[in-house]
Amino acid sequence: MNQKKNYHFNTKVIHAAQSSGDWHGATLPPIFQTASHLHPTAENLSQTFAGKTTDHVYMRLTNPTNRILEEKLSALEGGKGAVAMSSGMAAITNTCMALLRAGDEFVTGNSLFMSTYLLFTNVFKKYGITARLVESVDYDAIENSINSKTRFVYLETIGNPKMDIPDLALVAEIAHKHGLPLVIDNTLATPYLCRPIELGVDVVIHSTTKYLSGHGDAMGGVVIDAGSFPWPEERFPDFQPFIDRKGPLALLDKVWREHHINFGTTQAPFHAYLTMIGLDTLALRMERHMDNTLKVADYLREKPEVKWVNYPGSKDHPSHNIAEKQFEDKGFGGMLTFGLKDQAACFQFIDNLRMIYHLANLGDCKTLVIHPYSSQYVSFDDDTRRSLSITADMIRLSVGIEAVSDICNDLGQSLDRLQ
Ligand X SMILES: Cc1ncc(COP(=O)(O)O)c(C=O)c1O
Q: Rule CB under 6 A: which residues touch ligand X?
A: 87-89, 113, 115-116, 156, 160, 185, 187-188, 207, 209, 219, 221
Residue with smaller CB distance to ligand X, 146 or 368 = 368
Residue with smaller CB distance to ligand X, 116 or 190 = 116
Residue with smaller CB distance to ligand X, 89 or 199 = 89
Distance CA 398, CA 406 (A): 15
Residue with smaller CB distance to ligand X, 77 or 246 = 77
H/E stretch holding 369: strand 368-370
Residue nearest to ligand X (CB): 88
Min dist CB 349 to ligand X, Å, is 22
Residue with smaller CB distance to ligand X, 88 or 242 = 88
Min dist CB 45 to ligand X, Å, is 33
Residue with smaller CB distance to ligand X, 62 or 376 = 376
Min dist CB 387 to ligand X, Å, is 18
Cα dist from 94 to 28, 89, 98, 224, 253, whole Å: 29, 8, 6, 12, 11
Q: CA angle, 77 as apex, 363 and 89 as ends, to 5°? A: 50
Min dist CB 153 to ligand X, Å, is 16
Burial class (CB in 10 A: 0-12, 13-18, 19+), 348: middle
Question: Are the beta carbons of 221 and 92 closer than 8 angstroms?
Answer: yes
Residue with smaller CB distance to ligand X, 246 or 312 = 312
Min dist CB 36 to ligand X, Å, is 26
User: Residue 273: how many CB atoms within 10 A of its CB?
Assistant: 21
Distance CA 170, CA 260 (A): 31
Residue with smaller CB distance to ligand X, 94 or 160 = 160
Min dist CB 89 to ligand X, Å, is 4
Min dist CB 159 to ligand X, Å, is 8
Separation of CA 400 from chain center: 18
Residue with smaller CB distance to ligand X, 145 or 398 = 398
Residue with smaller CB distance to ligand X, 187 or 414 = 187
Min dist CB 55 to ligand X, Å, is 29
Q: What single letter denotes the amino acid at residue 327?
A: F
Min dist CB 275 to ligand X, Å, is 11
Pick from 240, 208, 245: nearest CA to 223? 208
Min dist CB 207 to ligand X, Å, is 3
Separation of CA 73 from chain center: 12
Pick from 346, 337, 333, 335: nearest CA to 310? 337
Residues 6+ apart with CB under 8 A from 371: 343, 346, 347, 350, 394, 395, 396
Residue with smaller CB distance to ligand X, 109 or 313 = 109
Q: What single letter denotes the amino acid at residue 176?
A: H
User: Residue 32: how many CB atoms within 10 A of its CB?
Assistant: 17
Distance CA 155, CA 146 (A): 14
Pick from 326, 402, 285: nearest CA to 13? 285
Min dist CB 406 to ligand X, Å, is 25
Residues 6+ apart with CB under 8 A from 144: none
Q: CA angle, 22 as apex, 16 and 23 as ends, to 5°? A: 85
Distance CA 380, CA 354 (A): 30
